[in-house]
Structure 1
Amino acid sequence: MDETTIGDRIADHRKARGLTQVALAQRAAVSTSLLRKVEQGSRDATPVLVAAIANVLEIDVTMLTGQPYDRDGKRPDRIHALIPPLRRALAYWDLPPTPEYAPRSWEALARDAREVSRLRQAGKHLQVATLLPRLLQEATVGLHDAEGTVRERYFEALTVLLFAAHSVTYKTGYEDLSTVVEDRLAWAAQQSSDPLMAALAAWARTTSMLRSGAYDIGLHLLAPHLDGIDPAQPDATTVAGALHLRSSILAARAGDAAKVEAHLVEARDLSARLGTDSNGGWHQLSFGPGNTGIHDVAAAVELGDGPTALQRAEPLRLAGAVPAIRAGHHYMDLSRAFLWQGQYDRSLASLNKARELAPQQTRHHPTTHEVTRMLVRAHRHTNEPLARFSTWIGVV
């Protein structure tokens, strides 16, 4: 089990650079008091703080979060054994792999791509990572052998598969690989005839920008895609709504509450028109009233406003159409908001709900590890449910 906290890693890298807490806090534009508390382990390290400090120290965010988790030890997570085959499959793009089998029709590949999408939205990382290497290679062979419209459709299927690969690699902490996938996604989307695939690729690319603190650049990237969506296209409303929701989180990380609200207003209008939650269909980006409500809560958490987040969450009822990975992330956000308000039992209950909905995602997320450490610190006496949960994710 890993006993090193994000605060410990920040302190180690800070000292290696010869910086005082005051100097690092000034350069990262955070308060010295907050930095001191994070290093001491009495405050959780938010994504905004981690990104800001990683930028100053000129290191990857994962060097502070400690990801990927559960890669070593007596019982390493099975997902890590599936990453090398996926990495090899992603090496092919401009040149086709030597096929061990004849590629199937685009229609057959598309059916499997839809199944991978369903598994991704259910948070089934192990199953997705198992299926992807062969399907990625098959799609690559197919597009190199095809011409015209059929070739463009292979690129559509490849974009869907790459989006799943991005989800798995990012959510399990393989930052280097997820960034490579973002480049492949942009390339594949451009080769398809579907302009909404380019919007999907841009949405995925902003993941790196959220992680690295490049929030304004992410907003700039999404803006032309929002302007260019043809409302008559299938899935146009869901894609536009999802881009507004992602923009609201980018704006929240940037601390721009006015821009957050502007994007949420647009999303609320689009979700009202849609009437119900959609999983995004072929274009992957889920959207609807429930998802908009989730982002309403998430934006408040990102702005550091726990009371508002909990107030907004109280009336929220998530329908079954909201993907498990999105609902699971919502409960991780709530765990942080409850933690800030000193409601430790509800914070743990939220983590357990996230585990119930999307266990593989929950186990590998930095929020889970940070909040669990803070809960362990807050409980001076034995707490059996917390002990079981902390053992499950490998936190002492």
Structure 2
Amino acid sequence: MAIPTVGNRLAEIRRESRLTQEQLAERSAVSVEVIRKLEQGSRGAARLDTLHALARALGVSTSALLGDASQAAARGEPDHRQLSLAEIRRVVAPVRGIDGAPLVVPAEEPTDLATLRRNLHAADRVYHAGDYALALRVVPPLLVNVRAAAGLAGDQRQDEAHDLLARAQHLAGGLLIQLRADDLAQTALSGALDAAQRAGDRVVAATVIRTMCWLLMRQGRIGESADLAVATADEVEPRLSRATPAELAAWGWLLLTAAAAQARDNRPDEVADLIGVAAAAAARIGERVPSSDHLMLVGGFDNAKVQMQRAEAAAVAGDAGLVLELSALVPPVPTISASAWRRHRLDLAWALAQLRRYGKATTVLTQLRDTSPTWLRQQRYARDIVDTIATGRRRAMTNELAALAELMGGAR
């Protein structure tokens, strides 16, 4: 029996709802041409936010449309020159010999764990700055050296070495997700989880799971993402009276990740509950920032991030006015997690564009371009916002908008 496609499910549910394609287009604000192509089985992948809008108009969960074809919701790479993945692929998925040992070996003598940890934090700063080209140069040799150090560590330092390996693999997985190398990212994250379990560090393991949930959402597997995030949050839920800031932050991030997945699956009640519990975790942390050793993995979870998640949920629900209201409560400058703040600024730009405040939306995007051009170019969401502004404007394209369109590869 053939597996139903997204288009099959869409057509079936639309007919059950007694709607024509034109009526569904009007309700969902998705063009009838897109709906027609989806139902006809167009080879192009259906975008997740498009499916969410259709599901909302049909009154069903997004998972109901995805069915068994969850990969159809995975997003494609923006149209720009590909950054080379050859070296990181060689390191993350090394060729192995008959004895099972990887053929990739460090070019130099093994480095001590303290130096490797400093190098890891430096690489993490490069990653969070959005400089993916530089990250692709520094992460592969780092991962090779950390893996070698873990293999040579004595019994007394095995936990420390594998904790470091888990963090390095996790960083590689996050970088690969940003570059939309999903299968390779899955390999890196699986290795990270194995190393975290061997180290016995549940905080690190929980943050790896959080990134796995992010990957699942990017692939359109939102139901699995929500289930995994909730199950892991339940497993690692700390006692608020005795929990460390790192434990609270790891738990809080999982709750917000679950909320993000549930928002995309049209489950607003669950979203509100999850964000409410996350807010309690953030309040408990207060001013107690996790130690610098944990900052790479759990830093950035605070009341500001909780508020950003509320705004994101409003954007996913299509409520531009509410996004602006909620965004007014978010600090106007980056918080601990610059990447989360940048993502929030895209929600703000989307809301402004939806409300036809094209000049202000362009200003927000221009600020992101000036500070994080490589990161912005990787964001499909940003390209869609630029396209919305470019097609909706009544006046000639400004120099700022033209520069954005050129960067995103979507000039019109």
| TM-score, scaled to structure 1 | 0.82
Which one of 3, 8, 11 corresponds to residue 23 of structure 1?
A: 11
CA distance in 1, matches of 2:119, 2:163: 13
AA aligned to 1:49 is: L
Q: Go from structure 1 to structure 2 and tell me whether the alpha carbon gap of 1:203 and 1:268 turns closer, same or farther (over 3 Å shift).
A: same
Q: Go from structure 1 to structure 2 and tell me whether the alpha carbon gap of 1:19 and 1:106 turns closer, same or farther (over 3 Å shift).
A: closer
CA distance in 2, matches of 1:18, 1:250: 19
Q: Which residue of 2 is the match for residue 10 of structure 1? A: none
Q: Which residue of 1 is the match for residue 88 of structure 2? A: 86
C-alpha offsets along residues 196-239 of structure 1, whole Å, 9 cap, x if unaligned?
Answer: 11101110110122123333322322234323244534511221
Shift of 1:27: 9.5
CA distance in 2, matches of 1:193, 1:28: 51
Q: Which residue of 2 is the match for residue 107 of structure 1? A: 114
Q: What SS does the aligned partner of 1:235 have?
A: helix
CA distance in 2, matches of 1:299, 1:149: 46
Structure with bigger gyration radius: 2
Which one of 198, 207, 219 corresponds to residue 200 of structure 1?
A: 207
CA distance in 2, matches of 1:211, 1:21: 20
| 2:223 paired with 1:223 | no
CA distance in 1, matches of 2:186, 2:308: 26
AA aligned to 2:145 is: E
Q: Which residue of 2 is the match for residue 390 of structure 1? A: 405
| 2:273 paired with 1:262 | yes
| TM-score, scaled to structure 2 | 0.79
* Matching of residues 1-396 of structure 1 within 5 Å: 23=11, 26=14, 32-33=24-25, 34=28, 35-37=30-32, 39=34, 47=49, 49=51, 59-62=71-74, 65-70=75-80, 76=81, 80-81=83-84, 83-92=85-94, 95-96=101-102, 97-227=104-234, 228-230=236-238, 231-233=242-244, 235-276=246-287, 278=289, 281-283=292-294, 284-285=297-298, 286-318=300-332, 320-384=334-398, 385-396=400-411
C-alpha offsets along residues 301-335 of structure 1, whole Å, 9 cap, x if unaligned?
Answer: 12222211111112321455432211111111112
Worse-matched range after superposition: 104-113 or 377-386: 377-386
Which structure ranks higher in relative contact order (CA pairs < 8 Å, sequence separation ≥ 6)? 1
CA distance in 2, matches of 1:333, 1:245: 16
C-alpha offsets along residues 162-204 of structure 1, whole Å, 9 cap, x if unaligned?
Answer: 2221222111222232222222222222221211111011101
Is the 1:172–1:361 Cα contact (8 Å) retained in structure 2? no
Gaps of 5+ in 2: 36-45, 53-61
The size of the alignment, in residue pairs, is 368
Q: Go from structure 1 to structure 2 and tell me whether the alpha carbon gap of 1:342 and 1:46 turns closer, same or farther (over 3 Å shift).
A: farther
Gaps of 5+ in 1: 1-16, 71-75
CA distance in 2, matches of 1:308, 1:111: 42
Query: C-alpha root-mean-square deviation of aligned residues, in Å?
Result: 3.2
CA distance in 2, matches of 1:18, 1:255: 17
